[in-house]
């Protein structure tokens, strides 16, 4: 993997890499590594955007971001 960058902020995660190949869901195979990341991103995100360029791609995910009070309530 080359040219990988991850940025996160309140409710947003953005990943950039040097591959212009868009992420694809593939059948999960216990004998092969990987294959589960893209479905997890889609399941946990409210919205996902993939932008491809010749120099790579950027995947931006909007994720639910509870407030500190909501997180404390869920622990109680």
Q: Which of 7, 8, 24 is nearest to 16 (CA)?
A: 7
Q: Are 51 and 40 in contact (CB under 8 A)?
A: no
Answer whether residue 10 shows pLDDT above 60: yes
What residues pair up with 27 in beta bridges, in sequence order?
A: none
Given this model, what pLDDT does residue 24 score? 86
Answer whether residue 71 shows pLDDT above 70: no
Given this model, what pLDDT does residue 50 score? 96
Task: Answer whether 0.85 is exceeded by the pTM.
Answer: no
Given this model, what pLDDT does residue 66 score? 74
| pLDDT per residue as tens digits for the range 14-70 | 999 999 989 988 887 888 887 788 988 999 999 999 999 989 999 999 998 876 666
């Amino acid at each position: 993997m080359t040219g990988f960058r991850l940025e996160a902020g309140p409710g947003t995660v953005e990943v950039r890499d040097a591959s212009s190949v868009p992420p694809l869901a593939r059948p999960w195979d216990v004998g092969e590594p990987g294959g589960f990341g893209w479905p997890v991103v889609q399941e946990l995100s409210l919205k996902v955007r993939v932008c491809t360029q010749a120099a790579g791609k950027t995947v931006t995910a909007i994720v639910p971001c509870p407030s500190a009070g909501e997180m404390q309530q869920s622990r109680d």
